[in-house]
Structure 1
């Protein structure tokens, strides 16, 4: 029921919100980072936030003993991240201010989760960095149509599967709410006429990161949580290091991520998003196998996951060479 509420709200509310955003001129103007060429409506992610909020409220009402506070913490941190993104969409915030507020959200959420799970307080600074970091990762990776909706659906689905394996109904509920809320936005976004905006990408990163931190502090193996997000992490990390090594301003708008370069070698937005999601599913499966298998299975799964990441990172070059070969008749 919670997932259905999230899906329904996220799917239906854009009908009401889009005219409001158009009236207030909340548009995404193409820049050096953009993969689109004309102004489109942004900030539509507020409807996904409403879906997540509504779904989690239903989940909290039906939660078992001790599960409600975990769901409430995930929901509170997710919505705080969304509100921060909303402020960025409407007014703009300095880089330092944004990052400090992201850290504050992560620290507050992790502190609450530590209290609920009796984990070590040493996890608070690490949780703060993890949440702030993934909010930015999700924001950096939200550059082609459908990629964020598919990421939320895929990672949320895998987190739900992990929750079922560990017997954690709260994790199943939270993950399915996130998955369905982002899946419902896909029909609005796939044709490139409506964008999540920072409110949506911050919500995506914040909700998945806080859910992951909560699951980890509750005893879930890290491989199972890192596997589904490793493609996003690898793409962002390698792009950042490459830009720093080249002496570029790493925070300036650009189109050097792997998923963006895939569109430069001929893939459509949807094809690029599907490739990223397929690789995320593969690394996620590898992470789940590694987290629950014997030592030989763990080694094999981690090696397979690493191979998927290498192939993904090299995919623009591989596809570019094939395209060049077809063009020259070789």
Structure 2
């Protein structure tokens, strides 16, 4: 079984690394490109839509886990995740290629979440249909969170890698093989995208990739909750993304801004404005996500005193992230003053 798991992960990694050689020229011919504006974090025209390659890698690897019998007992759970992830990636591709009105996008995201959660409730526990509206909102929310946070090189690939590894380990601790497999496949596929996103002639995931990332995380999390996995295992690795998205949303709403208009007010975007590179900010976000994830894993099963300490630690990490642009800006001013 361990060898089969390694093969499935290797397939996800290998396809994600290799497929861009085919997908990139196709996207160029189709004109799927990102043209920078004053709200962008890059300054050159870049091919987007490379999330197609990552989507194929994830879907093929998950299908392989079914075909080989690796996930025989929880076959239906992986099948529902495949459908949710595939539908979300398709929606993102349509947005990349031709664009969609905001209401259509939002409605489709909610529908994917609702149908997927209903299918999971039917499979796991028919008494849990009350989860359907919660699952619909969770899937739509995290698809958009991943989309909003996909603004600099490396951040989405690293996020998929970190969250996927935590979810895979959660599967080991919970004795749920489907979760181990799904998390490892997501981690491997997004790791395979990183060289293409960080190297010369870099490319973007596009909406197809950010929708894929958000749906993969949300679908696994909703499935895990219905299957009895600790909430702390599933929520803690995504706290930084949720905190950034929520606080930015609140800040813009208070100013009366149109919330669906592109902007540069996310914490990670303001960090790049302090002089940090894309890679530095992406690593910073990923390290803090790993810290909140570790705290959550401790919190899930720890005795009360340790659980309180883990909770306070996670809260401190989130607070550090939200306040970090001011810290790095102050450090940059000090360096400038020292050199002058």
Among residues 16, 36, 39, which one is paired with 1:10 in the alignment? 16
**2:206 corresponds to which residue?**
197
Q: Give the structure 2 partner of residue 256 of structure 1.
A: 265
Alignment of 1:179-198 (within 5 A): 179-191=187-199, 193-198=202-207
Question: What CA distance in whole angstroms lies between the structure 2 residues aligned with 1:308 and 1:47?
Answer: 33
Q: Which runs of 4+ in 1 moved over 4 A?
A: none
Which of 21, 26, 31 matches 2:32? Answer: 26
On the 8 A contact 2:66/2:72 being kept in 1, the answer is: no
In structure 1, list runs of 5 or more residues that go unmatched: none
State the Cα distance separating 1:120 from its structure 2 match: 1.2
> For 2:270 and 2:103, how far apart are their aligned partners in 1?
28
Name the SS of the counterpart of 1:38 in structure 2: coil
- 2:106 match: 99
2:143 pairs, out of 132, 135, 150, with: 135
Q: Residue 308 of structure 1 aligns with which residue?
A: 317
1:113, CA displacement in angstroms? 0.8
Match of 1:223 among 220, 225, 232: 232
TM-score, structure 1 normalization? 0.98
What is the distance in 2 between the residues matched to 1:182 and 1:65? Answer: 25
Mapping of 1:1-330 within 5 angstroms? Answer: 1-61=7-67, 62-118=69-125, 119-191=127-199, 193-329=202-338
Q: Is the 8 A contact 1:216 1:222 kept in 2?
A: yes
Contact 2:65 2:71 in 1 (8 A): no
The 1:64/1:6 distance shift into structure 2, 3 A limit, reads closer
Contact 1:33–1:143, Cα closer than 8 Å, also in 2: no
CA distance in 1, matches of 2:324, 2:229: 32
Which stretches in structure 2 are left out of the alignment for 5+ residues? 1-6
Secondary structure, counterpart of 2:204 in structure 1: coil
Q: Give the Cα separation in 2 of the matches to 1:136 and 1:163.
A: 25
Cα shift readout 1:44-70 (whole Å, capped 9, x = no counterpart): 100000000110011112234431110
- Deviations 1:184-208, CA, capped at 9 Å, x for gaps: 0000001362000000000000011
TM-score between the two structures when normalised by the length of structure 2 = 0.95
Counterpart CA distance in 2 for 1:31 and 1:128 is 33
Provide Cα deviations, 1:155-188, integer angstroms capped at 9, x if missing partner.
0000001110010111000110011001000000
Aligned residues: 330
Distance 1:55 1:267 in 2: 35
**Does the 8 Å contact 1:160/1:172 carry over to 2?**
yes
Q: After TM superposition, give the deviation of residue 329 of structure 1 in Å.
A: 2.5
Post-superposition offset of 1:19: 0.8
